[in-house]
Chains A and B, each alone.
Chain A
Amino acid sequence: MNKTVDNWEPKIVAFLCNWCSYAGADLAGVSRLQYPPNLRVIRVPCSGRINPLYIVKALQQGVDGVLVSGCHPGDCHYISGNLVARRKFALLKNFLAYLGIEPERVQFSWVSASEGSRFAALIEKVVDEVKELGPAKKLVKKGL
């Protein structure tokens, strides 16, 4: 089911934690790894800083996908920020899917500072999946 419009490229907002995933993205860059340029990165101190409203609000503003990535469990700079966040994300992911928002629109992952290639592969996968879905329509504010 490929709904992609000609030349349409998805816009994806990525919330990356400062200590791991943002550094992982950096490493992907300095290692000259190729990955799709569809990301708009927002750096946050920790994945635990993510308020579910950030994600929903991003969808309302018309982004086609949201990615949240933090340190691997056990590696959090603040010891347990990502572990507390993990519970919140599990519920949110289920809840948004339950309401009928395609699960691929909102994704969560862990990328460490040394995983440049994992980051590139992750983005490739997320962008592919969102492309497959086509432009976001649900939850998007109309008329602006």
Chain B
Amino acid sequence: MNNIEIKLKDLVKDLFAGEKIDVLIGYENGSLPLRSRPCFVHSAGEVDRLVWNSYCTNNLAVYLPRIFQRQEHKKEETPPPRVGIIAKGCDARSVVGLLKENQVIKENIIVIGMPCSGMIDPAKVEAALDGAGPYSCQGEVDGSLEVTTSSGEKKRLKREEVTAEACLECSHPLAEGADLQIEGEPKEACDERYEKIREFEAKSTEERWQSFVKEISKCIRCYACRQACPNCYCKICFVDQTKPRWIGASDELSNVMIYHIGRIFHQAGRCVECDACVHACPMDIDLRLFTQKLVKDVKELFDYVPGLSVEELPPLWTFKQDDSQSFITEP
């Protein structure tokens, strides 16, 4: 058990002992190699389930709106729960966004910031093993991941090579503004960003369209991207609305495209680039190629980075007199 994990457990035990929280959202060991998964801890006795390792990929903030919404829905007389949440840099920024949008009750949440050193992407590990079939993982040694393939072959994979894309490009690995902070060495922030987006922008219109078609054609409309996104808490998503029915239910390409355009555009000025949607996608659609474009534009046009301050107004709620309008058609 690593040091951080011990500190974390002690801290959470204290929170339960001091009756500060009713539930803690954290990670536990998953049932597959390289997987930790979200878990809900309700008492000090359960705290030992918690883990902290390089596989805590899920953005836990996704559970907050429903925890607070549910109380309202059930119209119970019990007060809303007091929630503790374990947060990487990206989770914490999502919490800030949710606070801003009144999806989280400020007094009822305790954010425990983790020193995140970047998460490992199981898909990259599988790719590095080149389809060698089932494998097991022995953990990390000196900045490498040790795995054993089913044929018994031991392999060492460099950590940078199997770190998730979002983590490699992460600009805020530390959960700034967290209520409590677990000490440790977070990953360095990355300043060199959006290279892929610039490359894509430089392509011709037709090339870009073909890439968009190729990516979206993989979609099976399972909505995992939407469900995994902390920002997607609409009670009825526009794709599920029936009056009017915005888009057809079939997998006809235009329907699927409009779903993705709508969902991604809805994240404008809100997306914290946690890649929850990318990791959730069972078909490996490169959603990051599209979500990041809006993040980049919001930064460039309105100088706004989401999830850093609760007070700052989101870019699409406000305006400046001198906002760029070079896109306007002049006759």
> Is B2's CB within 8 Å of the partner chain A?
no
A interface bracket (residues with beta carbon within 8 Å of B): 35 or more
Contact present for A84 and B319 (CB under 8 Å): yes
- Min CB gap B324→A, angstroms: 6
B150-180: CB near A (< 8 Å → 1, else 0) gives 0000000000000000000000000000000
- Min CB gap A137→B, angstroms: 10
Q: Which residues of B contact A138 (CB under 8 A)?
A: 209
Given contacts A90-B327, A107-B329, A124-B331, contact A141 B297 (CB under 8 A): no
Contact present for A84 and B205 (CB under 8 Å): no
Contact present for B252 and A109 (CB under 8 Å): no
Q: Which residues of B contact A42 (CB under 8 A)?
A: none
Given contacts A90-B327, A108-B329, contact A84 B317 (CB under 8 A): yes
Contact present for A125 and B257 (CB under 8 Å): no
- Min CB gap B246→A, angstroms: 6
Q: Which residues of B contact A107 (CB under 8 A)?
A: 329
**Restricting to A111-144, which residues have a CB under 8 Å from any CB of B?**
118, 121-122, 124-126, 138-143
Residue of A nearest to B289 (CB): A98
Contact present for A109 and B262 (CB under 8 Å): no
- Min CB gap B314→A, angstroms: 10
Give the distance in Å from the alpha carbon of A102 to the alpha carbon of B205 in the complex.
7
Q: Which residues of B contact A22 (CB under 8 A)?
A: none
Given contacts A141-B248, A141-B252, contact A86 B209 (CB under 8 A): no
> Is A53's CB within 8 Å of the partner chain B?
yes
Which residue in A57, A74, A91, A141 is a CB contact (below 8 Å) of B265?
A: A91
Contact present for A121 and B331 (CB under 8 Å): yes
Give the distance in Å from the alpha carbon of A49 to the alpha carbon of B316 in the complex.
13
Residue of A nearest to B262 (CB): A53
**Restricting to B292-307, which residues have a CB under 8 Å from any CB of A?**
293-294, 297-298, 301-302
Residue of B nearest to A107 (CB): B329
Give the distance in Å from the alpha carbon of A39 to the alpha carbon of B328 in the complex.
19
Give the distance in Å from the alpha carbon of A99 to the alpha carbon of B289 in the complex.
10
Q: Which residues of A contact B211 (CB under 8 A)?
A: 100
Residue of B nearest to A67 (CB): B329
**Footprint of B on A, CB under 8 Å?**
52-53, 56-57, 60, 67, 73-74, 80, 83-84, 86-102, 107-110, 118, 121-122, 124-126, 138-143
**Footprint of A on B, CB under 8 Å?**
200-201, 205-212, 238, 246-248, 252-255, 257-258, 261-262, 264-265, 268, 290, 293-294, 297-298, 301-302, 315-319, 321, 323-325, 327-331
A sample of 22 cross-chain residue pairs with beta-carbon separation below 8 angstroms, ordered by A number, consists of A53-B246, A60-B258, A67-B329, A80-B319, A84-B318, A87-B323, A90-B301, A90-B323, A90-B324, A91-B294, A95-B293, A95-B297, A97-B205, A98-B200, A98-B290, A100-B212, A101-B209, A102-B205, A109-B328, A118-B331, A122-B331, A142-B252
